[in-house]
Structure 1
Amino acid sequence: MNDGVYVMSEVKSIREAFAEASSFLSRSGCNEPQRSAQLLLEHVLGVSGAAYYMALADPFPAAVKEAFEAGVTRRGAGEPVQYIIGEQEFYGRPFEVTPDVLIPRPETELLVEAILRYGAELWPGGAAARYGGAARPLAAVDIGAGSGAISVTLAAEAPAWRVCAGDISPAALAVAERNALRNGTAVDFRLGDLLEPFTGMETDILVSNPPYIPGEDIAGLQREVRDHEPRTALDGGADGLDPYRRMMEQLTLLPAPPRLIGFELGFGQAEQVAALLAAAGHWTEIITINDLAGIPRHVLGITK
C-alpha cells in the first residue's frame, strides 16, 4: 500500500493475487473486500463462475497486471466495484451501470417479483386490459428508470405487457436504452419528471424505486453511495417522501389510477408510504413486503 495506490508484489498465482488484493481492500476500509477482489479479477481475466475457480491455481498473467492494479486502487479509494467493471447482475441478467445511474440492489428484485405475481393474478390472460370493451396490451410504467433494471426485467419476464419507463436524467435513459437492447426487450423510454411524460396514457401498473433518502442523511451514507452514486437518484427531500407525495398528486394526469401500484422505500418509511396510498383512496388492498433482512421495503396498492 503506497499512498492508497495498489502495487502488486511478485505474486505467482491468481489465488495469491486474490489474497493480496483482498487484504489491501480490507485495510482500505472497503466493504466486502473479498467479493470486490473476485469481481475485479473476473473482469480483467474475462472469466466468471466455475471458470474463475478453476483458474485460481494458474499463473497470474502479466498482461492484465496494470488493469488489475488500477481497478483495485479505485476500489480502495471507495469507488463501487460495479462502476469499475461497468456491470451489475439483476434478476439473472447483466446490466450496464455508470455513475449516471444507481447500482441495482437485490431487494429491488423482490419488488419486480411482486409486480409480476400480482399482475398475473389481476389479469389472468396476461395480455390485455379492457376499457369499454376495447382490448389493448397491459400497460406497465416504471417511474425513475435509472439503469432500466425494473422496466427491462418486466419486459423480459412479461413480454405481452407494454412496458414504459421515465427518468428526469437523459444520461440515465441512455444507459437504460442500452440495457433494453442488450437484453432483447422493447421498452418505451420517456424523458421527464415522474408521471409527467405519461400524461393521458392508460396505465394499469405503476412501479417506482424513487429517491427516498432524507437530504440531511446523505452525508452519513457509506462513501461508496455518498461519493459516487447520483445524488438526484438518492435525495428524497427533507423526510425522503417528496417523490411519493408528488406521484400521488400526479395520478390526476392519468385517465384512471392504476389497479396495481408498487413502491420501494427506505428504512422506517413503510407506514408513511402506506398511509399516502390509503389516503389517495384508489386501492382496496395495501400490502407491505419485507426484504430478505426482514425490513419493510415495498408497499403495494391493489384493486381486485
Structure 2
Amino acid sequence: MAKTYFEVLKRASSFLKELGKDDYAPYYLLFERKGWNKTDWLLHMKDEIPDVEEAQIHADLNSLQQDYPPQYLLGYSEFYGHRFVVSEDTLIPRPETEELVEYCLNENLQNKLTVVDVGTGTGAIAISLKLARPDWQITAVDLSKEALAVAAQNSEALAASIELVLGDGLAPVLNKEIDILISNPPYISLTEWQLMDQSVKKYEPKQALFAEDDGLAIYKQLVKEAANCLKPAGKIYFEIGFQQGAAVKALIQEKFPNKQVRVEKDLSGNDRMVIAE
C-alpha cells in the first residue's frame, strides 16, 4: 500500500520521540534534501513518497537513534547566511557564534584590518568576516590538518580569500601586527563531560571542545600571545562558556589593563562573549 510523506515522517518522528531523541530531525533532513519550506510541506505532505526517499529516511533513522548529528548526515550546516561543509573533523557551527561575528562586524567598519581567527574549524568565522569585509586581511589558524582541509574547501566554495595556517594558537602569526583577534576556542571543562549532549560527546572532535584548567587554558595562552602581536588599539573577541565571563574578562584585563573589557550575553540570555577594545 502506498505511503505518504506525512505517514512516513510521523512514524519516524514518533520513534525518535519514544527514545528521547530529537523528533524534528527527520523533518529537518527531508526539508533540506528536498529544498522544501513549511509551505511546500503543506502542499506535498499527502503525496505518495517514492521508495528511494523512504529508504533514505529509514537510513537516517538508524543514524539518528545513535545520536549522529543531522548536519553530518547532510555534510553541511548553515552559518551566517552561508552553507559550510562540515565533517567529523570539525565542530558544527552554532548560532551563538553567529552573534560573535555580528559583534565583530558591527563594531569594526574600517576597510583594511588585519584579523586572526584561532581555532577556525570549518572556517565559519573567518570566511563570514571576509565575505562581509572583502578588504580585511584574514588569517585562520587551526591545530588540525583535517579541519584546515575542510576550511580550505569552504573558502574555495564561497570564494573567500583567507590565509589558512596550521599551528597552535597565535604562534604562527607572532610576526604580524594584528587589529583583531577573534576565537571560539575549546572552552569546555573536562568536569562538564556528563552535561554534554550525546551527539556532541560521540561524534564532534574532542580537541575542538575541551580545555584544561577549568576550560580556561586556551584563553590564557591566547591572551599571553596576543601581548606580542596585538596592536595597541587592537581588539579581542572571544566566545566563552556561560560561566566563564568573569574569569576570561579578568585574564584579559590583567594583561591589557588599558583596554575596556566587557561580557556580552547571547540571545538566550547567557554570558557568551568577552570583548576587549
Shorter chain as normaliser: what TM range? over 0.9
Instruction: Tell me if structure 1 keeps the 8 A contact 2:181–2:230.
Output: no
Q: CA deviation at 1:42?
A: 2.6
Structure 1 residue 107 corresponds to structure 2 residue 96: yes
Structure 1 residue 180 corresponds to structure 2 residue 169: no
The CA distance in 2 between the partners of 1:18 and 1:37, in whole Å, is: 7
Instruction: Tell me if structure 1 keeps the 8 A contact 2:180–2:230.
Output: no
Any unmatched runs of 5+ in structure 2? none
The CA distance in 1 between the partners of 2:191 and 2:140, in whole Å, is: 29
1:253–1:232: structure 2 CA closer, same or farther, 3 Å change rule? Answer: same
Question: In structure 2, the residue corresponding to 1:54 is in which secondary structure?
Answer: helix
User: Which residue, 255, 260, 270 being the options, matches 1:295?
Assistant: 270
Structure 1 residue 30 corresponds to structure 2 residue 21: yes
Counting only pairs closer than 5 Å after superposition, residues 1-304 of structure 1 correspond to structure 2 as: 12-31=3-22, 33-34=23-24, 36-44=25-33, 46-49=34-37, 50-120=39-109, 126-128=110-112, 138-254=113-229, 256=231, 259-281=234-256, 283-302=258-277
Instruction: Tell me if structure 2 keeps the 8 A contact 1:262–1:298.
Output: yes
The CA distance in 1 between the partners of 2:230 and 2:166, in whole Å, is: 20
Q: CA deviation at 1:103?
A: 0.7
1:255–1:14: structure 2 CA closer, same or farther, 3 Å change rule? Answer: closer
Q: CA deviation at 1:206?
A: 0.7
Any unmatched runs of 5+ in structure 1? 1-9, 121-125, 129-137
Question: In structure 1, the residue corresponding to 2:261 is in which secondary structure?
Answer: strand
The CA distance in 2 between the partners of 1:269 and 1:53, in whole Å, is: 44
The CA distance in 2 between the partners of 1:268 and 1:203, in whole Å, is: 28
The CA distance in 2 between the partners of 1:278 and 1:127, in whole Å, is: 28
* Aligned alpha-carbon RMSD (Å): 1.7
AA aligned to 2:239 is E
Q: CA deviation at 1:52?
A: 4.4
Question: In structure 2, the residue corresponding to 1:63 is in which secondary structure?
Answer: helix
Instruction: Tell me if structure 2 keeps the 8 A contact 1:205–1:258.
Output: no
Following TM superposition, the consecutive aligned residue runs of length 4 or more in structure 1 with deviations greater than 4 angstroms are none
Q: CA deviation at 1:220?
A: 3.3
Q: CA deviation at 1:289?
A: 1.1
Q: CA deviation at 1:23?
A: 0.7
AA aligned to 1:93 is H
Q: Deviations over 1:213-265 (max 9, x none)?
A: 00122243110111111000111113000000011111244264561110001
AA aligned to 1:109 is E
TM score, norm. by length of structure 2: 0.94
AA aligned to 2:185 is P
Q: CA deviation at 1:85?
A: 1.1
AA aligned to 2:30 is L
What is the percentage of aligned positions where both structures have the same residue?
A: 34
Q: How many residues align?
A: 276
The CA distance in 2 between the partners of 1:297 and 1:27, in whole Å, is: 33
Instruction: Tell me if structure 1 keeps the 8 A contact 2:227–2:255.
Output: no
The CA distance in 1 between the partners of 2:224 and 2:233, in whole Å, is: 13
Instruction: Tell me if structure 1 keeps the 8 A contact 2:143–2:167.
Output: yes
